[in-house]
Structure 1
Amino acid sequence: MRSLGLLRAARNRIAACGDHGGVSTEAVGPMDASISKLLDGLRTAADEPARRAWALTCARALGLGGMAVSLNGELVWFSDATSKRLEDVQFVLGQGPGLLAQDIGTVHQAPDLRRLPAHQWPQYAAEAAQLGVAALFVWPVHIGAIQAGTMTGHRRTPGPLSARQSAQGQLVADALAQHVLSHWPQVSGTREGSGRAATVELHRSQVHQATGILSVRLRVPLPEALDRLRAQAYASHLSLTDTAHAVIHRELLWEPTHDTD
């Protein structure tokens, strides 16, 4: 899909500049020693459980309950089930703070979801509240001058970030972008090995597969097939991944409408 093509292009730019498992303090400026140590730990996050544990530790160092990273709409990193669900809901509904951050290009804070204007992300805010989330913070993820995605953190208590937390969060977001793209699938075989992290997982790969299946089955364009998949996930109160899994394994069937050519 188009998002994967954009990510591969960004990955190739990173490869052309050299492959870095972490990020240097010269590249990002001064940082707290604990954050610097965490970024160095990226090199040893060798599998999915280790990456989630690292992300949760990093979130706590930033004063967050959890965090997730999406690059061009593809969920690639998350610390916990709540963070994953927040990204899933945003992708399904097409509303949420991550979409705004992509437009404005700077860190966006929603320090108290209860005080949002009624017209701002109404369904998303309701879903977040059901998950016990009170505040959300979104950093743009940059690859050089390119904004490639977002890093979203949440808290279960309201309140803004400090200026230091905001700045350090941006350092983490940019370091994660370099690391994730350096270990993007199909770079050069397996990336397992001493001091190197494994290839990242594409958590929406089943969604892309299910979208293609629906497009063929219903004889509709891919965007419409994805919209139908999203609508089904929202209506059934299932995650988008679970809904896609049901389509792939023929547990959920759609038939083309009679007026479809």
Structure 2
Amino acid sequence: MADAFAAIVAAGEHDAPLQVCQVAVDALPFDGASITTMTDSHRQEPVCATNEAARRITELQFELGEGPDLDAHESGRPVHVLDLAELGEHHWPLFGHAVGGELARTLHALPLNTDGASLGTLCFHSATLEHLAVQDVANARRTADIATWAVLGVIAQEAPQQEIDRLQGRLQCWVKLHQAIGVISAQMQVEIETALTCLRAHAFVCDRRLSDVAHDVVIGTLRFDDGR
């Protein structure tokens, strides 16, 4: 892993964060991994995911406003969930129910710490109850350190227009989410945080994916004011 990580950081390519995740997944007892940058539960941006399950786990945490990534980011400490089935109803009840053991049984969220603050998180998942050896935990945390440098490297390289192109291409659904939040904020004349809460609530009550509700808002078939 050390040699592979060194080569990735030295090359400094745009998909370096994804390469870091893939190396770790290949070497450690995980089924997938994702990286998300964030400032709080209202402002998250997915950077990469190694598979669809990892991508959906990231999406669910944004949709529901709860989960291990958010706790790891806020606390600045790793969050290890050894068995999602044992979470109970009082800790991430919506997220635990949504994942339901189908996407993952274990989750390991590690903050991307830099200069005393968290840039975001690296989240590993497993579909089975894999036992992590002490060395596996150490390597997972080492991966988070490397991922931090990889993400910072991408941010430093990207010009504003390159960032826009990247978001519109690889992260189109998230661009639409942000557009929808802005539309709702203007319609209801509320803060962005309140607009996101309303979007989440509507998706939950109607049992729909947040991205689908956001699409309806953007094209104008769903409104959050008196014109709906």
Bin of the TM-score, shorter chain as denominator length:
0.7 to 0.9
C-alpha separation in 1, matches of 2:108 and 2:141: 11
TM-score with structure 1 length normalisation? Answer: 0.71
Q: Which amino acid aligns with 2:8?
A: G
1:136 Cα offset (Å) = 0.6
Say if 1:135 and 1:154, in contact at 8 Å, map to a contact too.
yes
Residue in 2 aligned with 1:90? 61
How many matched pairs?
A: 216
> Which 5+ residue runs of structure 1 have no aligned equivalent?
1-33, 192-198
Tell me the percent identity.
Answer: 25
Give the equivalent residue in structure 1 for 2:41. Answer: none
Residue 243 (str. 1) matches residue 213 (str. 2)? yes
Counterpart for residue 37 of structure 1 = 4
Alpha-carbon distance change, 56 to 238 in structure 1, aligned in 2, over 3 angstroms: farther
Of 124, 129, 154, the match for 1:183: 154
- Return the structure number with greater helix share: 2
Residue 88 (structure 2) aligned to one of 117, 120, 123: 117
Name the amino acid aligned to 1:248: V
CA radius of gyration, larger in: 1
Aligned CA distance change for structure 1 residues 77 and 167 (closer, same or farther; 3 Å): same
CA distance in 2, matches of 1:185, 1:210: 28
- The CA deviation string for residues 211-230 of structure 1, in whole angstroms up to 9 with x for no partner, is 11111123332222111112
Please say if 1:80 is aligned against 2:40. Answer: no
Q: Is the 8 A contact 1:56 1:80 kept in 2?
A: no
Distance 1:54 1:93, change over 3 A: same
Question: Counterparts of 2:157 and 2:8 in 1: how far apart (Å)?
Answer: 23
Q: Does 1:219 align with 2:193?
A: no
User: 1:58 and 2:24 equivalent?
Assistant: yes
Maintained 8 Å contact 2:17/2:147:
no
- 2:201 corresponding residue in structure 1: 231
The CA distance in 1 between the partners of 2:216 and 2:86, in whole Å, is: 37
Matching residue within 132, 148, 155 for 2:119: 148
Give, in angstroms, the shift of residue 205 of structure 1.
Answer: 2.7
- Structure 2 match to 1:99: 70
Give the superposition deviation at 1:74.
2.0
Q: Give the Å deviation of 1:176.
A: 1.8
TM-score by length of 2: 0.80
1:254 aligns with one of 206, 209, 223: 223
Please say if residues 139 and 152 of structure 1, whose CA atoms lie closer than 8 Å, have aligned partners that are also in contact.
yes
Provide Cα deviations, 1:88-127, integer angstroms capped at 9, x if missing partner: 1111222211222224322221111112233111221111
Alpha-carbon spacing, 1:255–1:124, altered in 2? closer, same or farther (3 Å): closer
Higher RCO structure, 1 or 2 (CA under 8 Å, sep 6+): 1
Can you list the C-alpha shifts for 1:182-212, whole angstroms capped at 9, x where unaligned? 2228843677xxxxxxx86483332222111
Is the CA contact (8 Å cut-off) linking 1:137 and 1:153 kept in structure 2? yes
Greater fraction strand:
2
Give the counterpart of 1:157 among 111, 121, 128. Answer: 128
CA separation of 1:186 and 1:159: change in aligned 2, threshold 3 A: closer
Q: How far did 1:39 drift?
A: 5.0
Give the CA RMSD over aligned residues: 3.0
- Whether the 8 Å CA contact 1:207–1:244 is kept in 2: the answer is yes
When residues 235 and 79 of structure 1 are mapped into structure 2, their CA distance, relative to the original with a 3 A threshold, is farther
**Residues 185 and 38 (structure 1), Cα distance of their counterparts in 2 relative to 1, 3 Å cut:** closer
Letter in 2 for 1:218: M
Counterpart in the other structure of 1:24 = none
**Partners of 2:149 and 2:94 in 1: CA distance:** 33
